[in-house]
């Protein structure tokens, strides 16, 4: 990247590093509202800057350690906690978002594409707010004190927008409740109706079990056994 050479990879995960120095120099946080900050292009641009910034910061930290007299092991060890680790997290998050965009572009159903885009934006903004907010200000990508508030407001709005799709999303990601025979596995919103049906359809819930006399007459039965 520092040599300004063309970089390519089989899954295009690091191809953007070919323009790394340009990204580091020219990219800035320019979203003005929730819609802009939630747009996939804005999120990808932010993550590319984060990866490039942390890559260069890690490189500079290793060189600084080596110049300070540490060997290669110590230099790399001292650069891991606040540099290499953050770089690894940012890179895999960017790669996940990159592959998710491919999946979204291949979706044929507009409704599915819309929901997936919201999930993309929610994960991207949550990751930025959770892991990289300090990096944005430290590196100069963001400067306004309103940036964290804008990102947080966008996250809250996305959560509200996805609320109606929550059951369907859980069924799509995890094992559906109906496979586990859960009475709450339906997405029709009829929670109490399903609970009532679950309680009344089982014979044991509405009738006496065959062993009820043993419980009611436990003392008498127990005395008979003792005499024997």
Domain assignments of the chain as residue spans, ordered by start: 15-174, 177-228
pLDDT tens string 78-109: 999 899 999 999 999 999 999 999 999 999 99
Question: What does the mean pLDDT of the chain come to?
Answer: 89
CATH tag, 15-174: 1.20.140.10
What pLDDT, on the 0 to 100 scale, is given for residue 221?
65
* Angstrom distance (rounded) from CA 180 to CA 75: 52
pTM equals 0.76
pLDDT tens string 18-41: 999 999 999 999 999 999 999 999
What pLDDT, on the 0 to 100 scale, is given for residue 55?
96
pLDDT tens string 43-65: 999 999 999 999 999 999 999 99
Q: Confidence class of residue 68 from pLDDT cuts 50, 70 and 90?
A: very high
């Amino acid at each position: 990247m520092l040599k300004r050479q063309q970089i390519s990879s089989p899954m295009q995960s690091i191809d953007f590093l070919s323009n790394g120095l340009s990204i580091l120099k020219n990219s800035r946080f320019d979203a003005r509202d929730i819609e802009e900050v939630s747009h996939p292009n804005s999120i990808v641009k932010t993550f590319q800057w984060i990866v490039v910034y942390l890559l260069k910061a890690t490189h500079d930290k290793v060189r600084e350690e080596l110049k300070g007299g540490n060997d290669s092991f110590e230099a790399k060890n001292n650069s891991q906690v606040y540099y290499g680790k953050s770089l690894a997290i940012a890179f895999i998050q960017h790669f996940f978002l990159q592959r998710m965009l491919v999946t979204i572009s291949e979706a044929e159903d507009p409704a599915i594409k819309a929901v997936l885009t919201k999930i993309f934006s929610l994960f991207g903004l949550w990751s930025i707010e959770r892991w990289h907010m300090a990096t944005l200000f430290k590196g100069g990508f963001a400067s306004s004190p309103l940036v964290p508030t804008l990102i947080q407001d966008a996250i809250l709005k996305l959560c509200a927008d996805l609320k109606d799709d929550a059951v369907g999303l859980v069924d799509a990601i995890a094992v559906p409740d109906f496979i586990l025979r859960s009475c709450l596995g339906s997405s029709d919103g009829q929670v109490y109706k399903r609970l009532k049906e679950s309680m009344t359809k089982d014979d044991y819930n509405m009738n006496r079990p065959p062993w009820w006399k043993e419980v009611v007459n436990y003392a008498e039965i127990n005395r008979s056994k003792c005499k024997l």
